[in-house]
């Protein structure tokens, strides 16, 4: 049955206030009352899973200021896109642990940027421990929504993420269903792999508003099902029994007359959406207010449309605002 109010998920912690994926970002999200937090996982050269939005880390760490790593700067194609910078898979964990995190969007989130340089990169096992400890501290069950990043790309360079994820989840006690775990990815192949390994979790297929999933594009070329077709009734039929739900770009839910949530619920699939942010720079044009990209617009109006869709979970950057709005 759909929830009366959606799960409120701290997207990379509380990145509206602290640098994303930092310890303080996660701890603040837990204190602000989220139901779960969402770490993104990528891998190091020596098989350690670290929490970063992308494997390219120049925008979220101080790696460019480390002269000893200057020769690691390179250009790669990740999911078909050329990227230049520094990549986690070119570092050992010991090397990455010398870096410090920073705000990815300092021009929008100056307050968060004031915490730059103060905290280390976290591993997945660190976040799992933070959430377990936080559940005890705050006296409520808090979950983890683990997003797997670039699985097909990592496999292409000889790093299979599935066994690494299984290793960490089992070691930390998160694989047997005792704690609320969701695993999500824009690629369905690794979701099937992880489910086949017996990891007790809800499996959620992430859906972009445009394009095709990279794993299917590599395997099937232009015959690969688009994301848009995946959330049409026929596409949803193909997900039954394979995943537990979908997580769609909010752009799709803001299209007038869309029936995505109702169609998914009719097939027993849950629906999450990403990302509910109050900043003008992230709101749909009709909800933007006066001021710059970092000023808040009429986010409550936009979030109201999302809430009325009947969605089961929302990702938020400002957990206090998310909890205050979606639980009211």
User: In angstroms, rounded to a whole number, what is the distance separating the alpha carbons of residues 126 and 115?
Assistant: 20
CATH of domain 7-326: 3.20.20.190
Contact 13, 314 (CB under 8 A): no
pLDDT for 254: 98
Neighbours of 8 (CB within 10 A): 26
Total length of the chain? 328
User: In angstroms, rounded to a whole number, what is the distance separating the alpha carbons of residues 41 and 12?
Assistant: 11
Beta-strand relationship, 143-148 and 36-38: parallel
Write the CB contacts of 177 (distance below 8 Å, at least 6 apart in sequence): 200, 201
Q: How far is CA 156 from CA 10, 86, 167, 190, 253, in A?
A: 31, 18, 20, 13, 34
Q: Over the chain (328 residues), what is each successive 10-residue block's mean pLDDT? A: 78 98 98 98 98 98 98 98 98 98 94 96 98 97 98 98 98 96 98 98 98 97 97 98 98 97 98 98 96 95 97 98 93
Contact 91, 121 (CB under 8 A): no
Neighbours of 240 (CB within 10 A): 10
pLDDT tens digits, one per residue of 201-253:
999 999 999 999 999 999 999 999 999 999 999 999 999 999 999 999 999 99
Mean pLDDT across the chain? 97
What is the domain partition of the chain in residue ranges?
A: 7-326
Neighbours of 168 (CB within 10 A): 20
């Amino acid at each position: 049955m759909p929830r009366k109010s959606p799960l409120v998920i701290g997207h990379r912690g509380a990145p509206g206030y602290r640098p994303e994926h930092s310890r303080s970002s996660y701890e603040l999200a837990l204190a602000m009352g989220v139901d779960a937090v969402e770490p993104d996982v990528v891998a190091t050269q020596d098989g350690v899973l670290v929490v970063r939005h992308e494997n390219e880390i120049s925008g979220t760490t101080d790696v460019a200021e480390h002269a000893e790593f200057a020769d690691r700067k390179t250009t790669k194609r990740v999911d078909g896109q050329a990227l230049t910078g520094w990549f986690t898979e070119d570092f050992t964990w010991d090397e990455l642990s010398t870096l410090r995190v920073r705000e990815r969007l300092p021009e929008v989130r100056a307050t968060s940027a004031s915490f730059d340089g103060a905290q280390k990169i976290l591993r997945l096992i660190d976040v799992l421990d933070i959430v377990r400890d936080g559940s005890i501290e705050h006296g409520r069950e808090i979950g983890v929504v683990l997003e797997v990043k670039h699985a097909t790309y990592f496999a292409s360079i000889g790093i299979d993420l599935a066994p690494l994820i299984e290793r960490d989840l089992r070691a930390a006690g998160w694989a047997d269903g005792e704690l609320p775990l969701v695993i999500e990815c824009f690629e369905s192949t690794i979701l099937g792999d992880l489910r086949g390994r017996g990891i007790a979790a809800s499996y959620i297929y992430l859906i972009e508003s445009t394009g095709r999933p990279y794993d299917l594009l590599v395997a099937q070329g232009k015959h690969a099902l688009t994301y848009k077709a995946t959330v049409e009734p026929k596409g949803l039929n193909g997900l039954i029994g394979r995943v537990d739900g979908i997580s769609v770009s909010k752009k799709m839910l803001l299209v007038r007359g869309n029936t995505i949530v109702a169609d998914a619920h009719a097939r027993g699939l849950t629906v999450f959406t990403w990302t509910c942010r109050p900043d003008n720079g992230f709101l749909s044009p009709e909800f933007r207010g006066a001021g710059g990209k970092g000023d808040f617009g009429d986010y409550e109006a936009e979030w109201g449309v999302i809430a009325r869709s009947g969605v089961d979970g929302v990702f938020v950057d400002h957990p206090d605002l998310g909890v205050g709005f979606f639980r009211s």
